[in-house]
Amino acid sequence: MIWIAILFLAGQYFYQLAFIFYNPMIVDVADEKHRSRASGIGQFGNSLGQLVGLIITLPLASSAVKPLLPSVGIFFLLALPMMIFFKE
């Protein structure tokens, strides 16, 4: 149980650390009036992506190595629109 708590805390630490890059970028995404809505949509997309990722890979999880290659391909396919349409 201690290891689970330690790993969960480490995961939460790095998840929250990712907001160092997210928070300054929200200024470029939305004006001051719509920042909370844009942030909420981003958080919803994050949660939905985690859920869909688990649902997609759950049928592939019969072994430790088997889900790796399909997951990489699915990730690339789903990340491709962001790589193409994201404007800096």
Query: Residue 22 has what pLDDT?
Result: 77
Alpha helical stretches, state H, the chain = 2-17, 19-29, 35-57, 68-85
Q: What is the pLDDT of residues 41-70, one digit of tens each?
A: 888 988 898 898 888 778 777 767 677 777
- Domain extent, residue 58, equals 2-85
The rounded percent of the chain whose pLDDT value lies above 90 is 18
Tell me: pLDDT of 31 over 70. yes
Q: Where are the beta strands (DSSP E) in the chain?
A: none
DSSP conformational letter for 63: S
Q: What SS3 state is found at 85?
A: helix
What total of structural domains would you count in the chain? 1
Predicted confidence at residue 10, as pLDDT, reads 95
